[in-house]
């Protein structure tokens, strides 16, 4: 398996795990969980081969996503 295919495989597996965590932990419908992940800066970093974030555990990447989502919520509250 070449490095591009390995990266895509690992990213796909992490995506599955992260969506499952979003559904379980936040109670999101699966479509919303996918949209939340795909529109996040964390997913952008996960897709960037330079970060090699796809080598990290789902728990670690989810903690980054949680932090990002928490910051977005704080920004929304400040704008209200």
pLDDT digits (tens, 9 = 90+) for 18-59: 999 999 999 999 999 999 999 999 999 999 999 999 999 999
pTM, two decimal places = 0.86
Distances (CA, A) of 64 to 20, 29, 50: 16, 21, 17
Cβ contacts of 63-72, under 8 Å, gap ≥ 24: 65/18, 65/22, 65/37, 65/40, 68/40, 68/41, 68/42, 69/36, 69/40
pLDDT band at 80 (very low <50, low <70, confident <90, very high): very low
Residue of 74 and 4 predicted with greater confidence: 4
pLDDT of residue 1: 77
């Amino acid at each position: 398996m070449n490095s591009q295919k390995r990266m895509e495989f690992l990213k796909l597996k992490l995506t599955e795990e992260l969506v499952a965590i979003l559904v379980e932990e936040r109670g999101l419908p699966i479509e919303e969980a996918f949209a939340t992940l795909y529109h996040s800066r964390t997913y952008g970093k996960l897709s960037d081969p330079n970060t090699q974030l796809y080598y990290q555990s789902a728990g670690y990447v989810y903690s980054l996503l949680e932090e990002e989502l928490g910051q977005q919520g704080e920004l929304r509250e400040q704008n209200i």
